[in-house]
Amino acid sequence: MKHWQIIQFFFIPLLLVFSGCGSLPDGITPANLVSILPQNGSLYVCIDSSDSRDLVQTILKKTPYASGDTEAIINSTNRIYASVGRNTDGRTEVSFVLVGGYPVMFINSALSWNKEWEEIRGKHNYWKNRENGISIAIPTGWLILLSQGDIVPMLESYANLGEADLSREIEKEMQTSSILILFPVGIDPATASQFALNLKKNFVEEVWIRGVRNSGKYDLTSVIQVSEEVEPEAFKRLFQFVMLAVIRKTDMENGIERLRDVEFSVEGRMVKMSRFSVTQDELASLSASLFGGVDK
């Protein structure tokens, strides 16, 4: 199952047309919300959907799973947190934490009338799809949990809310960015292969890419923390070739010329890229590619 199929199986049964109300409790931080997600993810994403609903819709349109249901839920969601990881069998699992305002009784009622969904009762109640095994839970009016894997640990994490091991800088970026993509253990060869990069070993320890909306476009900044065995200045030159590969893969208009305006710098073991502006459609294509979407 591709990553974006999880969205299709979640939203189609709900038939959500609502304007729910709900607010995030005081003191809840991105580190709290990320801690609900499975902690074995190789990729985490945070999207400010209140700022970039049209970006999320554009991403969905580049997959086969766009529908009126997805539009309804996104219109009631302020923040999207997601993780992509692998289970013990090596299969990909995607999980979501959606933050917004949701009519819990309406959603539960809709699911109870849909024969595809079975209510699982216990210490933590949730719904499981009989056909594909995807689980959803609505523990409160401001939160929806969704997972291809075991959702009970996510509910346990919500009930005993902790903090993910995020640096202060990453947490700040999650609060101020329109979109943040975090690779907490670097970019693995499987992900690198999506951009035709033949990396046989992991040269980086952590990567994050932030996008900030600016007059209809998105200003991207990327930070790569390289491993001790890598010379940062040499990796900076490699990073330029990586960006060239990304531009060629996504067919960015005037991409080569725009790359000349990008600033690459080194701070300690951090290699940074800044001043790279992309259109909403270009960012959506990149995001859809990372999540296994089908570009259209």
Alpha carbons 63 and 289: distance in angstroms, whole number = 10
For the chain, where are the alpha helices, taking DSSP H only? 5-11, 30-36, 53-61, 68-75, 104-112, 152-159, 168-176, 189-193, 232-250, 255-259, 280-290
Tell me the pLDDT tens digit for each residue of 189-228.
655 555 545 555 567 888 899 999 988 889 999 999 888 8
Q: How many CB atoms lie within 10 A of CB 272?
A: 15
Alpha carbons 238 and 72: distance in angstroms, whole number = 42
205 and 140 belong to one structural domain = no
181 and 260 belong to one structural domain = yes
101 and 48 belong to one structural domain = yes
150 and 59 belong to one structural domain = yes
Tell me the pLDDT tens digit for each residue of 86-95.
777 777 778 8
82 and 127 belong to one structural domain = yes
Q: Which residues pair with 48 in a beta bridge?
A: 79
155 and 180 belong to one structural domain = no
Give the domain-ending residue among 136, 159, 182: 159
Strand arrangement, sheet containing 117-120: 117-120, 126-129, 135-140, 143-147, 92-100, 77-86, 43-48, 179-183, 204-214, 217-226, 270-279, 263-267
Alpha carbons 152 and 172: distance in angstroms, whole number = 29
Mean pLDDT of the chain: 79
Q: What is the pLDDT of residue 17?
A: 43
Number of domains, the chain: 2
Q: What's the domain range around 107?
A: 5-12+34-159
Counts for the chain of helices (H) and strands (E), in that order = 11, 12
Tell me the pLDDT tens digit for each residue of 68-88.
555 666 778 889 998 888 777
pLDDT of 296 strictly over 60: no
Determine which of 11-15, 31-35, 79-83, 164-168 has the lowest per-residue pLDDT on average: 11-15
Q: What is the pLDDT of residue 32?
A: 93
Residue pair 60/70 in contact by the 8 Å Cβ criterion:
yes
What residue type is assigned to position 43 of the chain?
Answer: L
127 and 195 belong to one structural domain = no
The answer to the question of residue 269 being in a domain is: yes
pLDDT of 253 strictly over 60: yes
User: Residue 42 carries which DSSP code?
Assistant: S
DSSP codes of every residue in 107-163: HHHHHHT-TTEEEE-SSS-EEEETTT--EEEEEETTEEEEESS--HHHHHHHHT---
232 and 134 belong to one structural domain = no
The answer to the question of residue 87 being in a domain is: yes
The answer to the question of residue 19 being in a domain is: no
Determine which of 32-41, 51-60, 129-138, 232-241 has the lowest per-residue pLDDT on average: 51-60
**Higher-confidence residue: 18 or 160?**
160
The answer to the question of residue 79 being in a domain is: yes
Residue pair 243/262 in contact by the 8 Å Cβ criterion:
yes
Give the domain-ending residue among 140, 159, 178: 159
Give the domain-ending residue among 130, 159, 188: 159
39 and 155 belong to one structural domain = yes
The answer to the question of residue 296 being in a domain is: no
pLDDT of 246 strictly over 80: no
Q: How many CB atoms lie within 10 A of CB 285?
A: 22
- Residue 288 three-state SS: helix
Tell me the pLDDT tens digit for each residue of 146-200.
888 899 999 999 999 988 888 888 888 888 899 999 988 766 665 555 554 555 5
pTM of the entire predicted model: 0.81
Residue pair 180/33 in contact by the 8 Å Cβ criterion:
no
